[in-house]
Amino acid sequence: MVNEKVYIGSGKDFETRKRAHSNDLEGGKHFNKHLQRAWNKYGRDNFEFNIVEEVESSMQFDKEQEYIDGYLNSNKELYNIQIDVHSPFKSEPEAKVCIYFCREEGWYCSNEFETFYTRQKYCPSCSQLRQISWDAREEAKREEEEFYELLNQETQNWLSGFLGD
């Protein structure tokens, strides 16, 4: 409640889930490190557990995903690391790099990390929601190199024209 950040989850019984989350957080062993850190920092009095909707159990995960996507699409922040409730884990970790640029303070995050979560969009270092895959960054680097190579070539062409060579 200090910030507007939320954690979205679902379960068959609200009280049971609530108790499980609270116990883990109180014990400092909640699997979600972001949530745990916030809990340690702000204290339990700054957290609220709410039922946002009661749905048919067959719709549980579709609904949960709908809420998560809704939050992400409106650029609101989530504590959830696992963004895809249907296929949360990869068998191989995926290399990701954070491309967050903090305009106000003028720094780049560029944190490199590996994740088993299929669609993790949360940087463990700066806690921002902006990341690209390693492959995409390699591609960006290649494009930059090609650009400079071309520029270099043109400069040399221009120079040799200028020197009458």
What is the binding site for Zn ion (CB under 5 A)? Answer: 98, 100, 109, 111, 123, 125-126
- Report the residue number, 47 or 100, with the smaller CB distance to Zn ion: 100
- Report the residue number, 82 or 120, with the smaller CB distance to Zn ion: 120
Minimum gap (Å) between residue 81 Cβ and Zn ion = 13
Residue 25: name the closest of 42, 10, 8, 11 by CA: 42
- Report the residue number, 21 or 96, with the smaller CB distance to Zn ion: 96
Minimum gap (Å) between residue 142 Cβ and Zn ion = 23
Minimum gap (Å) between residue 76 Cβ and Zn ion = 18
Largest CA distance in the chain: 84
Tell me how far CA of residue 59 lies from CA of 16, 72, 94, in angstroms. 19, 20, 29
Minimum gap (Å) between residue 77 Cβ and Zn ion = 13
Minimum gap (Å) between residue 121 Cβ and Zn ion = 11
- Alpha-carbon span 102 to 112, nearest angstrom: 17
- Report the residue number, 20 or 97, with the smaller CB distance to Zn ion: 97
- Report the residue number, 67 or 117, with the smaller CB distance to Zn ion: 117
